[in-house]
Copies of this chain bind each other. A is one copy, B any other.
Amino acid sequence: MTMPIENDIKQTTSFRSPYHRMTVNLMYTNGWVCDEQMYLLKPYGLTIQQYNVLRILRGQYPNPVKVADITERMLDKMSNASRLVDKLLAKELAQRTECPNDRRAVDVVITEKGLELLKIMDQHQNQWETRFHNLTEAEADELNRLLDKLRGSTE
């Protein structure tokens, strides 16, 4: 009788189905991974979302990225890219300039300071990732395959 997630949330009654257990497990595990990531980012004053936006900006560097493009690339589509960019601006990790061909749009570019901060984070990544090594690479691949399949995302 398997019980791990049940123990973690001190559950008394059992799950209706493997699918029910899966949804709860997914939420709980996601929280666990986020906690781990925050532990890494916090010393640098970054939130997970700000870090994600910063990496999207680096992905296009030195080209600018419009706010709408950031939203499209974000893990969480509904979060407010406009306000996240505000925060990066305040920390001088990104710059915002009016787009010349369309004055409604805004071009966002990562700054030198932003690139340097990401470089520091990169150095931590390999070390940080080792906390996921209780899964083998093959198991991580399998987990990826199952998550993709769950969402109905096919190759």
Q: State the A residues within 8 Å of B (CB).
A: 1-5, 7-13, 16-34, 37, 59-60, 72-77, 125, 129, 132-135, 137, 139-155
Contact = CB atoms under 8 A, between A and B. Distances in A.
Contact of A144 (B5, B7, B37, B59): B5
Contacts of A11: 59, 73
B25 A34 contact: no
A13 B55 CA distance: 11
The oligomer's copy count stands at 2
Give the top 3 A-B pairs by smallest Cβ distance, nearest first. Answer: A4-B153, A18-B140, A4-B148
Nearest to A146: B143
23 contacts: A4-B148, A5-B147, A9-B74, A10-B73, A11-B73, A13-B59, A16-B129, A18-B140, A19-B132, A20-B125, A23-B33, A26-B26, A26-B29, A26-B30, A26-B33, A32-B151, A134-B152, A135-B149, A142-B142, A143-B143, A143-B146, A143-B150, A146-B146
A9 B73 CA distance: 5
Contacts of A18: 137, 140-141, 144
A5 B148 CA distance: 7
Contacts of A33: 23, 26-27
A140 B5 CA distance: 14
B32 A30 contact: no
